[in-house]
Each structure stands twice: as C-alpha cells, then as structure tokens.
Chains A and B, each alone.
Chain A
Amino acid sequence: MAKPIEKMKPEEILTASKKLFFGGFALLPMLWVYNILYVWPVRNRADLSPQVRHYMLLSGILSVVLFVVFSVWFGIFVNQRLNWGTTGDTLTVVLVKGV
C-alpha cells in the first residue's frame, strides 16, 4: 500500500510531482490535473522543495490551456462535423443515425 502523501518525505513528494508533470507529456494530460490534486494537501509544508510548487504551477497552466483547447475543439467538432463530409465521418467514433 502506498504511503499517504502527508507521511512522505519532501524528496519523495518532489519525485512524485516531477514524474506526474513529465508523465503528462506522454499524451496523459490528466496527470497534470492529478498532480495538483495530489500535492494540494501538502502544498504549504515548510520543508517542501520549491520545485514542487513550480511543477504544480506548470501543471495547472498546462491543464487550463488544454482544457480550453479541448473545449474549443469539442465545440467546433460537435457543430461542424456534419459539414466536414468524409473527414467528419472519419473523426467520429460513433456515427449518430438520423442527424
């Protein structure tokens, strides 16, 4: 069983946060969101490496940027996929009958 983050040493937290941050680039953006949520309870610990907060901040920025990008894409896709012809059909996983 994994150790609760409250009981982890600062360097362990740093390693975890770093892994989560870089892991996010492997097409796993949810790791950035998770990074923030995971480290959140210990964010104010005095012995925490400042780098951890650095990674949290970057993760947060990337999450927000991607959220905006995905939302915009989703909006465009939902409204425009029928106008894109074959391309739209290819991009759609489940074709909705009747529309």
Chain B
Amino acid sequence: MVSKRLRTSAILSRVAISLAAVCYLASAQDIYDTIYNDIGSLPCVRLLNATGFVGCQSMGAASGVLYRADTLEDIKQFASDGGLGNQYTVVIPYWLLSSSNVDILKSSKRLAAILAVVNGTDPAHAVAARPTAIISPDTTCPNCEFGLYANTPNQYQWNPAGSGLLFEQFDFPIYALNTMDIRNTMSYASVMQAVNRNRDKGYRDYPLKSLQFHSFMWGAQDTGACLRKGWCTPVGGASVWSTPSTNISYTDEKPIVVITAAMDSRSLFHDLTLGVETSVAGMVTVLAVAEALSRSTIPLDTMSKHIVYTLFTGEAWGFSGSQRFVQDITSSPIQCEKPPTSGSGCAYPFYSDLEFQRLNPANIEAILEVGQIAGMGGAGGSSILYAHVDNIQESASTALLNQIVQIGANGSTTVPDSNAVQAASSDGVKRGLPPSSSMSFLKSRGNIPTVVLTDFQKQMSALTNHDQDDSWNTPNTVNLIQQAASVISKTAWLQAQGISDSAAMTPAQTEAIASIQVDAGLVQDLLECLSFNYSCPLVDRYLNVTASPTPPARLPHYSGTLYSQSQPFPIFAWSFLANMTSVKNTTSPTPRVTGCSSMPATVQCGPKEYCVGDRCLVSLTRYHDAYGTGLAMDSNSEYYIKDASKPVWTESTWDPIGLRMFDVTSPGSQIAELMTGLALTLVSSGVVWYSRRFLKKTLKED
C-alpha cells in the first residue's frame, strides 16, 4: 500500500516536473519539496598544498540509493552482491572509514558516495559501539615536514598508528552525519529512516530512497595552479598575542617569556572539528595562566622580564600561525610601501597590525608551550604531564626543564598530585620536541630555552585530529589543565622575576607567588564554553553572544579561510586576554569606565582604550594574521606561492554544497519511462509530418 502510494506520487511528481516550467515560482518550490528533502550537510572538502590536493571531490552531482553497512562484513557483502543496481550511497559508522574499506567499496564499481556517521542514536552508531582501538587520521608525524627536525634523518614518529586518512584523495563525495544539534539530528533521523526502509525492502523493491550530493570543488592540481586561477583561498585566520607589559619596546632589552598554545585543529569534516585534545585544552590552559598571573600581587609589568601570551591559529596546517608570527617579528622593522587608507597596519606588504614590531625576537628567553593535555589519548585518565625539550640544543633548556619539574613536584602547588610533571626523557630516550608551535621559534633561533607540556610521553593521542574527539572525562581533563596552568604560571612568574632558585625568594615574592592560583571553576567553564557551548555566561559576559537570535553552541575549531570567516575563538581569546593583561584599576589613575558596549551612545572609550566586556581598558593585545608562510600577498591583494617548501595550504572554492533525498524508481521503469518519451516524440513527429502533407495536399486541391 505504502509503496503503491509512493509510486503514484513519484509518477505524479515527474509529471509535475514537466509542468514546472509554466508554473509560478512559489509552486515550483512546492514541487521541489514534494520531490526532494534537503538534508543538513557536513561535507569533506578539498584542500590543496604545494604538491597536490587532499579531501573529497565529485565532478558531477553524485547520487545513489541508500545502503546500510554497519560492519566490515556488511561492506564486503555490498562489494560482492552481484544482484545490486548501479549507484549506491553507503551509510557506514565513522570508524569504518579507512582507505582499505573505501577500496573495498570502490571495487564494487557501484559506490556513488559515503555517509559516515560520527554519532548516532542507532545502536550501531552509538558511542558504545565505537571500537576500543582508535586510529588517528593524521600522518605518523603530523606537520613534521614543517617542524624543527624536518631535515633530520629518521625523525621520531609521534603518531605511529596514524592512518593518513586526512591526506587521501577521494573522487566521490563523503559527508558526515552527527546528532550534535537539532537540525543534524533531524537529518540523521531521516537518513536512517530511509536507509532502514531500503534495507527492509532488500534494496530491490523499488521505489527506493536515494541521496543526491553536490560537492563540486573548483580547485585542482595544487595550490600554485588554483591560486593563479583564483579557485582557492589560503587556510588561516587570526592568531592572538597579548602582554601585560603595555610599554614593551623592541629596544628595551628586557627578556621575554612566551607562553603559548594553539587555537585550531583539523579533522576530515571541518564542521565537526573540535580538537579538545589537539588544541582546546592547551588554549584553556593559556587563558587560565593569564587569569592566574593577573592575580599576582607584584604587578607583572614591573618585573624584570616581559610575559607574552601567544595563541596561534593555523597550527594544524604546518604551524602556519606560529611560523608567520616568528617570520614577522624577525623581519621587523617592516618596510611599509603603502600605508592603509584607514586604521592600523600596512596595505602593502599587507599586515593587519604592526604592533608586533615591539617584540624583539632576540629577547625571547623562555618558551612555555602547552600541547595536547586533555588526557583523552592514554589508557584511562593519566594525571601525569610530560615536559619535552629539544634534543639538538638540549643544554639550553635544561635549567627551565628542571625548574618546571621541580615546581610540578613541589608541595607548594595547589595540585594534590605530587610528581605531576615528569621530564619526557625520564625513561632515558631523547625524542626531542613533539610537533609544536615552539618549533617555529627554535627554527629561527635554536638556543631558546623551551619546554612543551603534554599528556603523552612517547605517542600523541589516538584522537589527534580525529572527528570523534567529542567525549572526555571532565574531572580528569580539568585536573590536567589545572596542573599544567599552575606549573606554567608559577614557572613563568619565577622566570619573569628572574628567580632560578625558589629558596632565595624575598617574603614579598613568596607572598606574591602564593597569590597565583589557578581557578578550577574557570578551567571547567572555559573547557565547556570553548568546546560545546559558545553561548555560556563566561563568553556572553565578553561578547554578548546570547543577544543573537540563534546563539551559537558548538562551533568548529577549523581555522577557516583567511579573512573570509568569523573567528569566534580568536575573538574570545582576544577579549579574555585583553581583560587579563589590561592595566589594573590600582595602577590606573582613573577608574575603569563601564557601559561602552551596553550604552555606546553615552559611554565612549578613550583613544588608546578598547571596549572589552562593557568596560574601557588599556591593553596590548593584538591579532596577528595566520596563514602559510609559503604564501604571500602581492600588490593586487592576490596570493601566490613565495616558497613552496613552507606551508601553503589552501581550501578550494566550491559550488553550493548540499545533499537531498528523493525516491528513485527501478531501472526497468526508468527505461520504460525513457522509451515512452521516445515513442511519444516519434509519434508526434509522425503526426506533424503526416498532417503537414495532408494539409498541403488539401490546400492545393482547393
């Protein structure tokens, strides 16, 4: 009964198509709606680098009957079932998406597209069904070709199990399904309903539900070719740097302590990129450090060294953010050939801001970096942090490493666990630094004391740049972040004060360092806000996000393309750091003015002030352009490859992307339809020909 009604409706809708041309636009939409059901789309897209491209592409509109495969056996069954038709969209759990399984599916010659379910309500897609052995889709050493040891033979592989899925080329569409919000849950539900019905019909009893994909990527070959044709945009965004030393200058000869982390990550489906392990936890740590240090009873800008916070974007793409930052600060003073028509920066060569020239790279005396520390990769909630140092100029970092380990072990920290920090080389193996932003600094000057804190000793998390890094043990993660923030804030404070031995502190200093406490509540809030709920009260206080008609919740941590997308995380980081590093009320002659955002007509900030969270404040917090250092912008504002050996990642431009569901009739009835059409054409031609002849004759006779 159901199928009969559907068949009738399918035929009717086809009749309707031919009438559509003469119908109103409104009714054309109605007809579209009777045929198609648009599904929310989470696509895999094409990205390009110096030598080629990665990701997904389909030259035409691919469409295929929905087919469900929950296991490897199902995939093999699909490939060997000779009774199937031509084109199928295979719905698989995300963890079955591997190049070997794709090869099996492709060998059937009837694969049109893949839908990978990241999260679903069906038992086959539930979190419980996920395999215990997770494999990172990144390479065995992510971004190492742009790292410090790129030219070292046999460099250590930090992600040995990495499958390299992110670097595969797929010539068919792959989309994700994920029940992460209402819209996507609805999409998932309708796809599952359709695929289950197809399965119940044995994939043979037409009409069957089919999906059509539009996923046409313009960019091809490599970044050089596609930039020339204007078919791609650099991957990148905005990094943020900030310092409490508002008077910092290039020539002040005061050493600098850099505290750094990454803000972005990557995964196969950019809309799902979360990166709590890869970057969010590190970002939260740096923000928590800034908050903790802002409590220091000795003002930070009076210390013997400057503290500079840097949060880099584009790090997942060959350390684009940190490499550009280092490249820019090492090339100051910038020769600006064409000043901007308005605002700060330079029009050519393009810089959105030039304040970075106040940072002297030669003055950088310590780098404290937070890498992966969410504790999501290890075997169930390890609470140890590992401190990694470079193994080429190891001696430069020894003192800093010892200080960190000592502070980590010191009972004076608020963290309950002692021995919270271990040297990564404590097992006697010197692996050097794991992939990190610090490498960009060390590439320009190798003897900067540098420590990178991570939750792993030998191997990066299996969730590195994974799409399923969406569940973590909150107490453990918060604890790790708090530990890391505590160790880093105290180390940075001691470094900035120029104290190498904590025993030699003055009473004022002892009191001041005791005032530096990492707020666990803040850590938990930041983690929650920056992963799943951007509209949380904390972010709202700064950015008034809940005023939006559709308050954002989970936002992707993919950096996006340069200058073309909003940068929610850099914007928040900027606001938060500006607040934490701003000149305090106590040292400022006038009390802070509030109301600059809520009452913009009456309250206006001073010329050197910024309006942050409704308050006017003075702060040296700046955005920094983040995109591959192999790319450069010419005087016509077009990008080109300046140095192909450096990162040049770009994202392809594409035609409107989407997928829609419709009923497809059996191949037999499709042929019958075609034949009927042809027959009708022939018959009508014949009738015309005959009647013309007939009329001619009749008219002649008259």
A residues whose Cβ falls under 8 Å from a Cβ of B: 82, 85-86, 89, 95, 97-99
Contacts and interface: CB of A to CB of B under 8 A. Distances in A.
B interface secondary structure, majority: loop
Contact of A86 (B59, B217, B228): B228
B231 A82 contact: no
A99 B216 CA distance: 11
A10 B224 CA distance: 61
Contacts of A99: 220-221
B55 to A, nearest CB: 13
Contact of B231 (A85, A86, A97): A97
Given A95-B229, A97-B231, A85 B224 contact: yes
Contact of B59 (A85, A89, A98): A98
Contact of A98 (B218, B224, B228): B218
Given A97-B216, A98-B57, A98-B59, A82 B228 contact: no
A95 B218 CA distance: 10
Contacts of B221: 82, 99
15 contacts: A82-B220, A82-B221, A82-B225, A85-B225, A85-B228, A89-B225, A95-B229, A97-B216, A97-B218, A98-B57, A98-B59, A98-B217, A98-B218, A99-B220, A99-B221
A17 to B, nearest CB: 41
Nearest to B217: A98
Nearest to A96: B220
A89 B220 CA distance: 13
Contacts of A86: 228
A98 B216 contact: yes
Contacts of A85: 224-225, 228
Contacts of B218: 97-98
Contacts of B57: 98
Contacts of B225: 82, 85, 89
A43 B7 CA distance: 65
Nearest to B655: A97
| Chain A to chain B: the 10 pairs with minimum beta-carbon distance, closest first | A97-B218, A99-B220, A98-B59, A98-B220, A95-B229, A98-B218, A98-B217, A82-B221, A98-B216, A89-B228
Nearest to B60: A98
Given A97-B231, A98-B219, 9 more contacts: A85-B224, A85-B225, A86-B228, A89-B225, A89-B228, A89-B229, A97-B220, A98-B59, A98-B216
A82 B52 CA distance: 13
Interface residues of B, number: 13
Nearest to A97: B218
For A86, A89, A98, which residue has the most chain B Cβ atoms within 10 angstroms? A98
Contacts of A89: 225, 228-229
Nearest to A82: B221
B418 to A, nearest CB: 59
Contacts of B229: 89, 95
Contacts of A97: 216, 218, 220, 231
A43 B220 CA distance: 53
Nearest to B221: A82
Nearest to B229: A95
A86 B218 CA distance: 17
Nearest to B59: A98
A86 B640 CA distance: 12
Most A CB within 10 A of own CB, among B216, B224, B229: B229
A19 B349 CA distance: 59
A89 B225 CA distance: 9
A85 B224 CA distance: 8
Contacts of A82: 220-221, 225
Contacts of B224: 85
A66 to B, nearest CB: 31
B636 to A, nearest CB: 15
B474 to A, nearest CB: 44
Contacts of B228: 85-86, 89
Interface string B220-234: 110011001101000
Interface string B185-218: 0000000000000000000000000000000111
B47 to A, nearest CB: 14
B242 to A, nearest CB: 42
Nearest to B230: A95
A32 B8 CA distance: 60
A89 B229 CA distance: 8
Contacts of B59: 98
Nearest to B58: A98
Contacts of A95: 229
A95 B225 CA distance: 11
Nearest to B653: A97
A97 B229 CA distance: 9
A97 B231 CA distance: 8
Interface in B297-334: none
Interface string B46-74: 00000000000101000000000000000
B215 to A, nearest CB: 10
A98 to B, nearest CB: 6
A89 B231 CA distance: 13
B650 to A, nearest CB: 15
A89 B221 CA distance: 13
Nearest to B216: A98
A33 B57 CA distance: 44
A95 B229 CA distance: 8
A98 B653 CA distance: 10
A86 B221 CA distance: 13
Nearest to A99: B220
Contacts of A98: 57, 59, 216-220
Contacts of B220: 82, 97-99
A97 B220 CA distance: 8
A82 B220 CA distance: 10
A97 B58 CA distance: 12
A81 to B, nearest CB: 11
A86 to B, nearest CB: 6
B20 to A, nearest CB: 28
Nearest to A88: B225
B46 to A, nearest CB: 9
A95 B219 CA distance: 11
A63 B219 CA distance: 39
A98 B219 CA distance: 5
Contacts of B231: 97
Contacts of B219: 98
A99 B59 CA distance: 9
B56 to A, nearest CB: 12
A98 B45 CA distance: 12
A86 B219 CA distance: 15
A95 B653 CA distance: 14
A89 B224 CA distance: 12
A85 B229 CA distance: 10
